[in-house]
Chain A
Amino acid sequence: MNIVVFIKQVPDTNNVKWTENNNIDRTKTESIINPVDRQAVEAALEIKDKCEGTCVTAVTMGPKKAKSILQEAIATGVDEAVLLCDSKFAGSDTCATSKVLSAIIKTKFPNTDLIFFGQSAIDGETGQTGYSVAARLNLPVISHINEIIGIENNVLSACSENEKEKTLINVELPAVVCVNNYINRPRLPKIEGYIKAKDYIYPTYTLYDTGLSEDETGIKGSPTKVSHVFKAEDGRCCRFINTEDENCIINLANEIKGAIGE
């Protein structure tokens, strides 16, 4: 079985730099692996543990330094790790990103049985990429998965759960699976893993490898554009209750009663 896990390097949200085009300047911002993507890797590794002959490949699109999260993936136990890196990818929105990711599946990993995504990234992406890649590849997609039950006769059984209901789903492979942050606890890298990560030669694919044209990716290939960025400042005028006043709790209680119309 061949599994691809798409992982994303996300900026450390405490220290953000912006480019002139109002996009995140990832070259100046510290990156970490998106937390739920780690769990997507773990989900793939757990299948590998059970099914002999499984090959797990971690793929990320980003600048050269995104290699660090691929190193982490290799150290944890994935077999291969690939970087999609080209200046022409820069500034891609979800539409353009999903084009690149689905194109690389078609050109480099056509025999993929299973594609994993983390449900969403913490840096402002809103969980569209997995669905969009599935749509481009015409694959079925199941999401909010918090348990992989097993794979039998090319059918994957999984459990999806939200606050209202729990659903047992069977999906025919190949398929796209988006996992949520309840699915598992990712394993820690081993010493041998770190050694492999150090020696591993990380293949880098560019626009050429995707078979896409320059107009289809990056800023050119992105229909949505940031027209204006501003600091959100729509504060209210706070009136403070004087805590020196012995009636301060009574005053607070009156404010509450006033608001609920008692």
Chain B
Amino acid sequence: MEPNGILIYGETDNNGKVAPVVFELVSKSVELQKKLWNQRIMVCIINKRMHFDETVKQLGEYGCNEVLIVNDDRLSDFENYHSEIFTEVAKKYPPRIILIGATEKGKKVASYTATKLETGLTADCTNLDTNEYNLLLSTRPTFGGQLTADIVCSTFPQMATVQPNVFPKVKQNEIKVSATYNWIDVSEIKKKIEIKERTVKKVSTKDITSADVIVCAGAGAANEYGMTLIYELAQKLNGAVAGTRETFEKGFITKAQQIGQTGKTVAPKLYIAVGVSGASQHIAGIKNSGKIIAINSDKNAPIFKYADIGIVDDLFKVLAKLPDELDK
């Protein structure tokens, strides 16, 4: 069978809620669909038995043509079987392109699938396009984000993973979507991994990937006083606190708050960089933000090249005065 279509891993949580990155990938696929003639957009959802009507409708609104559902009560959101099942689905409906969100779960599914299908996988792409031969062109930062590379895969399916928040979600008009239920016998898969216990952690800090406002602490602000001022500002703006790799390494933020190539990609309406120098690894994680404001005492800091508004001043001085002015 000639490979056809764009297949997306429809990551869900245990309640069947589809991860935001799936809608982002569907939206990007609509763009690719316009360039590649006659490619169906398919999303594969793997979960226990439940009602998927609302999910199917939602995916359709963003341009998905077909939802492939594998539901079995032995399945949960745990990814143990997902890699095997997704691979089977990709064999049954051989696609031209496979797109997967670069989440913890997604990365595992993507690596397994690419290996079993003997095809190439480009991870953590920052853009997707097509070249003159109608092949997928995957753009990703290489080498610690110092350079950007376009990567082409010579085998089918062409696979790519993309971090959440890289592509915007775009609703479409009048797309017809259908749902197909598939049966894959999971009892065939030998169970070698057993989950003994799962504890959901209390998340003490605000999720930076969905925040409208982020105040980011760079190396210049990474001390007790700086962090106090940053938390104060974030609270005032009802925003989340994030940091760079250096700030994480100094222990002032958690891994969940780290932005950049080794951390998260964010796209808030407002991003305030405080004492952030602006290494390209960091920029890769913030460039989709709405407005970027940078506060740094070094006028040559690269962050200013990527900011909309800059203020060259002592950050402690600025942050100490700012909350009062915001109240006015």
In the complex with contacts A123-B143, A241-B311, A259-B291, A167-B197 CB distance below 8 A:
yes
Give Cα distance in the complex from A227 to B122, angstroms: 13
A260 to B272, CA, bound (A): 12
User: Mask for B270-294, Cβ within 8 A of A = 1, else 0?
Assistant: 1010000000100110010011111
Pick from A43-51, A68-76, A170-178, A193-201 the stretch touching chain B.
Answer: A170-178
Q: Which residues from A are CB-within-8-Å of B306?
A: 235-236, 238
A166 touches B199 (CB 8 A): yes
Asked whether A164 lies within 8 Å of B201 as measured between CB atoms, the reply is yes
Shortest CB distance B153–A (Å): 5
CA distance A224 to B139 in the complex (A): 12
Chain B residue numbers with a CB within 8 Å of A261 are 269
A93 to B119, CA, bound (A): 11
B197 near A253: Cβ-Cβ < 8 Å: no
Q: Is the CB of A162 within 8 A of B104?
A: yes
CB pair B110–A128 under 8 Å, yes or no, is yes
Interface residues on A, range: 35 or more
Main secondary structure on chain A at its contact with chain B? Answer: mixed
**A254 nearest in chain B by CB position:** B325
Q: Which residues 237-292 in B have Cβ within 8 Å of A in the complex? A: 237, 254-256, 262, 269-270, 272, 280, 283-284, 287, 290-292
Instruction: Report B's interface with A, CB cutoff 8 A.
Output: 83, 102, 104, 107-108, 110-112, 114-116, 118-124, 131, 137, 141-155, 161, 192-201, 203, 212-213, 237, 254-256, 262, 269-270, 272, 280, 283-284, 287, 290-294, 304-313, 318, 321-322, 325-326, 328
Q: A124-B142, A227-B150, A232-B284 are in contact. List 18 more A-B contacts (CB 8 A).
A: A13-B146, A95-B121, A132-B111, A162-B104, A164-B201, A167-B195, A167-B197, A223-B154, A223-B155, A225-B154, A236-B308, A238-B294, A238-B306, A238-B307, A239-B308, A240-B309, A241-B311, A257-B326
